[in-house]
């Protein structure tokens, strides 16, 4: 099994005819993802990559039965695209768009409340269930079917981590990028809950970074939750100077809040094994599984 996506997931792409979307959707199709169409207003009735194009998400969903959408739409239009997916009751929206205005994402978050849609991103590398379905921009060759559920704020660190998990013979059940922006859709707790309930996910890897309080909240959730699985983590930014943004829009230690050491201590207090450096992520997950 897996979480959120499987070999049965039918995927459309909003903005399919753009250069970036075309490149990554070609990769997804080659991987075996069930891409069933695209949404490009004004191009309904045409085809691209051999897939039918529709003018709206509602039309695409009605015609194809899609249950996931990849949002490859420029930042100034991305909120409208996600809101359209929510209105069409699309179960999963994966937004890889970077630099979305924060207030636009706030509007999206409000629309998500009480809706039937789960959102990954914005600024997400996507989601992959190895050997079954890939939505996003991640390279597939590092991934291998396995038993570790991965949830991460960082794309590049995820690729390094899954490569190590694969090398250690652990593989991944599903790898999820929640995005590096300060406001986004699904968070650590949402994904950890799914992994805890998935019978084929035997361990969980959390990849965090400075900024915000999601790692601390995840630690508190793990402390209070009755379901138990081995959990390992890595937190990036231990040596980052305060008040300086480090890569992601959400990765900034403001006046000592959201610093790496506090996050590491919170996770350790929840019996999470924390990797001392990026090179030890796989080994630390292996140790957590053996404990």
Cβ 174 vs Cβ 205: under 8 Å: no
Buried b (16+ CB within 10 A) or exposed e, 197-210: ebeebbbbbbbbbb
For the residues of 138-150, what is the DSSP string, one character each? --STT--EEEEEE
The residue from 24, 142, 143, 248 that is catalytic is 248
248 part of the active site: yes
Cβ 31 vs Cβ 134: under 8 Å: yes
> Alpha-carbon distance 237 to 69, whole Å?
32
Token readout for 274 is: 């924390």
SS3 call for 218? helix
CB half-sphere exposure, 43, CA atoms < 13 A:
16
Q: Is the dihedral of CA 18, 20, 22, 24 positive or negative?
A: negative
Token readout for 197 is: 């309930």
SS3 call for 71? strand
Where do we find the tokens 């169409």? 37
Cβ 117 vs Cβ 89: under 8 Å: yes
Q: Which residues contact 279 (CB under 8 A, 6 or more apart)?
A: none
Q: Which residues contact 208 (CB under 8 A, 6 or more apart)?
A: 152, 153, 188, 214, 215, 218, 233, 234, 235, 236, 263
- Which residues are the active-site residues? 248
């Amino acid at each position: 099994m897996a979480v959120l996506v499987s070999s049965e997931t039918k995927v459309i792409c909003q903005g399919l005819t753009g250069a970036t979307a075309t490149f990554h959707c070609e990769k997804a199709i080659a991987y075996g993802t069930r891409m069933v169409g695209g949404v490009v207003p004004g191009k309904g009735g045409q085809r691209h990559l051999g897939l039918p194009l529709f003018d709206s998400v509602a039309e695409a969903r009605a015609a194809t039965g899609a249950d996931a959408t990849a949002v490859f739409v420029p930042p100034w239009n991305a909120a409208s695209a996600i809101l359209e997916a929510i209105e069409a009751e699309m179960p999963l929206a994966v937004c890889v768009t970077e630099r979305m205005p924060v207030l636009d994402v706030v509007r999206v978050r409000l629309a998500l409340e009480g809706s039937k849609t789960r959102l990954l991103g914005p600024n997400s590398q996507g989601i992959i269930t190895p050997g079954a379905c890939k939505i996003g921009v991640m390279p597939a060759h590092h991934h291998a079917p396995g038993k570790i559920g991965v949830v991460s704020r960082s794309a590049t660190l995820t690729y390094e981590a899954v490569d190590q998990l694969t090398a250690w013979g652990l593989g991944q059940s599903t790898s999820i990028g929640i995005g590096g922006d300060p406001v986004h859709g699904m968070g650590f707790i949402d994904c950890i809950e799914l992994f805890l309930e998935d019978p084929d996910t035997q361990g969980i890897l959390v990849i965090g970074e400075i900024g915000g309080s999601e790692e601390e909240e995840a630690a508190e959730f793990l402390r209070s939750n009755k379901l138990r699985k081995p959990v390992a983590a890595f937190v990036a930014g231990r040596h980052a100077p305060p008040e300086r943004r480090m890569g992601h829009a959400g990765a900034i230690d403001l006046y000592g809040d959201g610093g790496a050491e506090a996050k590491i201590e919170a996770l350790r207090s929840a019996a999470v094994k924390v990797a001392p450096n990026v090179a030890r992520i796989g080994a630390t997950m292996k140790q957590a599984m053996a404990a």
